[in-house]
Structure 1
Amino acid sequence: MHNKISISTIRRALGLATLLAPLAAGAGGFPAKPVQIVVPFGAGSITDVVARVIAEHMREGLGQPVIVENKPGVGGIVGAANVAKAPADGYTLLLGSNSTNAINQSLFKSLPYDPIKDLVPVSMAGEIPAVMIARADHRANTLQDVVDLAKAAPGRLTFGIGNTTNRVAGEMLQKAGKFEAVIVPYRGEPYGLTDLLGGQVDFMFLNLPVAYPHLQTGKVKAIALTGVRRVSAMPSIPVAGETLAGFSMPDGWLAFFAPAGTPPQIIRRLNEEIVAALDDAEVRKRLEATGGYVVKSSTPDELGERVASDAKRWADLIKAANIPLQ
């Protein structure tokens, strides 16, 4: 005898299967093991600091260890490529930046990853002003001093840079000030800062939170911010555009990304945990104490729009500065 199955029974079964699909995709059991956050810059960078503060809070919500691993190299390319090639299961995240996800594709002839196709947005983590600094005993005190010194000795002044964002800033500054200097690249900002303090380079462009403690102790002095506005943490630092009309650079940012193909349910869960961390009063206090860091979260869609917009803007800046592809 054959059993008869009604149409309504089939429909109920199909409906249940649809409801259970997200669980079958793996979101229901996520996370079942530690989550790794890859930092594509060295220890001591602002990216490293932010990742570790947020990871502490995420451990509580996820109920699993959240491990931060530094994979520095080639302007963040090494770490970003590592995450792009990782399994799309939510267990490997990139705390990327405007360098790794919006600038590098316009600065390098080829990349071992596609920032748009290989990485999907999860959430913003914050915005970071950049600053040009000098040793406390350097004879230049203002940006105009720098321009005058550079014009008096073309190609003699040295500018240290630790990421691609500030590489563009250094080139744009030379163009706006109509002078020539030598750009000295470093694997990360802490390495360049060490050389600046040791007298190996004259000036350095770096993220304000990295310079902040040294500005507080008086070991270095701020020449100018490279962004479009002064910052509340140190309101006395002028913006470069106040001296050089037309000079304007977007502020940098940090944001979380996952490998393309990561299930949407897992992206939503990770976004919720990251946003919860950034909304926590203690987390905000610790991040803002770095000096100049602006805590900011987002939805995945909002981050995707920011990446697309900034990628175009940086491409235009790189083209305007005549920076050759690396």
Structure 2
Amino acid sequence: MRRSILRRAAALLLLAACHGAMAQAWPSRPIHLVTAFGAGSASDIVARMIAEDLRAAFGQPVLVDNKPGASGIIAAEAVAKSPPDGYTLFLTTNTVHSGNPHLFKKLPYDPIKDFTAIARVCYFPFVLEVNGALPVKSVAELASYARANPGKVSYGYGNSTGQVASAAFNSLMKLDAAAVPYKSSPQVLTDLIGGQISFTFGDLASSQAQLKAGRIRALAVSTEQRSALAPELPTVAAAAGLKGFDLAAWVGVLAPAGLSEDIRARLSAQIGAMLARKDVVDKFTAMGAEVAPADGAAFDAYMKQQLAVWGRKVQDAGIQPE
């Protein structure tokens, strides 16, 4: 009996040692960082910054894999079905894990159970934007223009933040603007510049160049308080008298469910260290993002809280699940 117990104990110790060795050996080949939106989008910009930092830290290539379409569902499903070995990561947003569960009747993934939370990265304040040639320079003027041109005003969106913010604004302001969905935010900007749509709620990161060039015009920020990133802009809540209008986007890194705690901890610590560097904070600020680091456990709790918050936002916007 004693020999049997000793053999089992030795086997367990050997298994634990092998597991530890495997964890320490990671990564031994390239890592794929999947994003739910296209090249040039805010999440794509962040993904490439993180990929370069992880490459330098771990000595393996980190390849950004853009999988746009279906509001991030394509990317989320692909990651959820990948092995939890640390070689597939997901640079995700509130669109995929906070908004989609309330915007679609059925999803091929569970926003919480199918993923391992690694780290929250940042927030993106959204801005109400119009075509630069549109004769409006304030929220009030946009509302007046829309009411004076029934059937001629539309809004576009390429993510759930843009969809919910635009739908809520359209409904609360009683504008009767038509909704136009896109695969990703860069396509929204292209058509906004071209005049195919009248307005959108876009993130500062992907809009800055067009704003500076005057091709599009920013009217207000979607957050409840003015943003330090665009202090000259009023809030939609104040400019339109819409008390409680408060929408922003979050970005974080996930992996498939079942990722080992060792790998999770290493990734979380590295991303946290990256976000603590002043040069990185300055880059995020310059692109219109606010650094908001949180480790895996804190990010997991935050995702669950945001899932409930976005349920209320979607309901308030009057959006029916597809």
Could you state the TM-score of these two structures normalised by the residue count of structure 2?
0.93
Unpaired segments of 5 or more residues in structure 2?
none
Structure 2 partner of 1:83: 79
Equivalent positions of 1:20-59 (< 5 A) are 20=17, 22-23=19-20, 26-59=22-55
What per-residue deviation string (whole Å, max 9, x for no partner) do you get for residues 24-82 of structure 1?
Answer: 6x312111111110011000001001110111111121111111110100111111111
2:90 partner SS: strand
Q: What is the CA distance between 1:223 and its match in structure 2?
A: 1.2
The separation in 1 between residues aligned to 2:94 and 2:209, in whole angstroms, is: 23
**Contact in 2 for aligned 1:99/1:163 (Cα 8 Å):** yes
1:252 aligns with 2:249: yes
Q: 2:306 maps to what in 1?
A: 310
1:250-301 residue CA offsets vs partner (Å, 9 max, x unmatched): 31010001000111111111111211222233332222221x2011211111
- Cα deviations across residues 69-126 of structure 1 (Å, max 9, x unaligned)? 1010011111111111111111100100000111101100111111111112100110
Alignment of 1:68-107 (within 5 A): 68-107=64-103
How far residue 17 of structure 1 moved from its aligned partner, in angstroms, is 5.2
User: Taking structure 1 as reference, are residues 47 and 155 closer, same or farther at Cα in structure 2, changes over 3 Å only?
Assistant: same
* 2:84 maps to amino acid: A
Aligned pairs (5 A) from 1:205-284: 205-242=201-238, 243-284=240-281
**8 Å Cα contact 2:28/2:60 also seen in 1:** yes
Secondary structure class of the residue paired with 1:120: strand
Count of equivalent residues: 321
Kindly provide the amino acid, as one letter, of the partner of residue 103 in structure 1. Answer: G
CA distance in 1, matches of 2:3, 2:116: 43
Q: Which amino acid aligns with 2:100?
A: N
Matched, 1:194 2:190: yes
1:229 and 1:65 map into 2 onto residues whose CA distance is 40
Partners of 1:125 and 1:234 in 2: CA distance: 20
2:13 and 2:81 mapped to 1: Cα distance? 34
Please tell me whether the aligned partners of residues 161 and 247 of structure 2 are also in contact (alpha carbons under 8 angstroms): no
1:325 lines up with 2:292 in the alignment: no
**Cα deviation 1:183-202 (Å, max 9, x = unaligned):** 11111111111111111111
Q: Is contact 1:134-1:220 (8 Å) kept?
A: yes
**Distance in 2 (alpha carbons) for counterparts of 1:185 and 1:228:** 25
- CA pair 158-88 structure 1, distance change in 2 beyond 3 A: same
Tell me what 2:153 maps to: 157
Q: Which residue of 2 aligns with 1:289?
A: 286
Identity score, percent: 35
Tell me the amino acid that sits aligned with residue 23 of structure 1. G
Please state if 1:183 is matched with 2:179.
yes
| Cα distance between partner residues in 2 of 1:202 and 1:43 | 23
Quote the Cα distance in structure 1 between the aligned partners of 2:143 and 2:17.
64
Q: Shift of the alpha carbon at 1:166?
A: 1.0
The 8 Å contact of residues 62 and 273 in structure 1, kept in 2 or not, is answered as no
**Which runs of 5 or more structure 1 residues have no equivalent in the other structure?**
none
Structure 1 residue 179: Cα displacement: 2.5
Match of 1:64 among 60, 63, 70: 60
Segment of structure 1 superposing worse, 255-264 or 241-250: 241-250
**Runs of 4+ in structure 1 displaced over 6 angstroms?**
9-12
| Change in CA separation of 1:118 and 1:15 when aligned onto 2, cut-off 3 Å | closer
RMSD between aligned alpha carbons? 2.2
Find the aligned partners of 2:174 and 2:14 in 1 and give their Cα distance: 66
TM-score, normalising length: structure 1: 0.92
